[in-house]
Amino acid sequence: MKKSQLTTLCYIEQDEAYLMLHRIKKKEDVNQGKWIGVGGHFEQGESPEECLLREVKEETGFILTSYIFRGIVTFCYGSCCEYMCLYTANAYEGTLKECNEGILEWVKKKDLFQKELWEGDRIFLKLLENAEPFFSLKLIYDENQNLKQAVLNGSCLDLETYITKK
């Protein structure tokens, strides 16, 4: 079995929009073509907050000045398991820069679910939209990247309720 991965993901908010990264620049990218928040893998010895701040600065040029730890998302796919610390942020300093992983774009929250998103992302984005308190979400994908099961705070979810397009 492959080693577990630790990552962060942040949805930066401004004017009823999230800063989204359309992943179209990296070769052999598991997120190829998808719209996701910004973040990435922990470096040795980093805390979740240190990883968050470093990754956001690297990908956007922004220095976060206000952020909230919203939940833990566990992704299971094949022989891999990823534990992602999910954040939202609503204040930052700096100027948006070009990202080498994709195109950064402010996407209105009302339009977000029309974008090409991971099925599981639709679940936690709805939890964020509904101001769900800190949560633990486990997402299990099959070998074809289809979401097979979602467990929120220990209870299985009805996938049809969460993953349909808005």
* pLDDT, tens digit, 9 for 90 and up, residues 139-153: 999 988 889 999 999
- The span from the CA of 60 to the CA of 100, in Å, is 10
- The span from the CA of 17 to the CA of 108, in Å, is 4
For the chain, the farthest-separated pair of C-alpha atoms sits apart, in whole angstroms, at 43
Q: What is the pLDDT of residue 33?
A: 76
Question: Which carries the bigger pLDDT value, residue 96 or residue 26?
Answer: 96
Q: What is the pLDDT of residue 40?
A: 93
Q: What is the pLDDT of residue 165?
A: 52
Residue whose C-alpha is closest to residue 8's, from 43, 35, 32, 60: 43
Confidence of residue 26 (pLDDT cuts 50, 70, 90): confident
Q: Specify the amino acid at residue 103.
A: I
Confidence of residue 161 (pLDDT cuts 50, 70, 90): confident
User: For 54-63, what is each residue's pLDDT tens digit?
Assistant: 999 999 999 9
Confidence of residue 1 (pLDDT cuts 50, 70, 90): very low
- The span from the CA of 88 to the CA of 74, in Å, is 17
For the record, the structure tokens of 144 come out as 């074809």
> What percent of the chain shows pLDDT beyond 90?
77
- 52 DSSP 8-state letter: H
Q: What is the pLDDT of residue 164?
A: 61
Question: Which carries the bigger pLDDT value, residue 165 or residue 100?
Answer: 100
Q: Specify the amino acid at residue 137.
A: L
* Residue 113 CA neighbour count, 13 Å, CB half: 14
> Tokens 């097979």 — which residue?
148
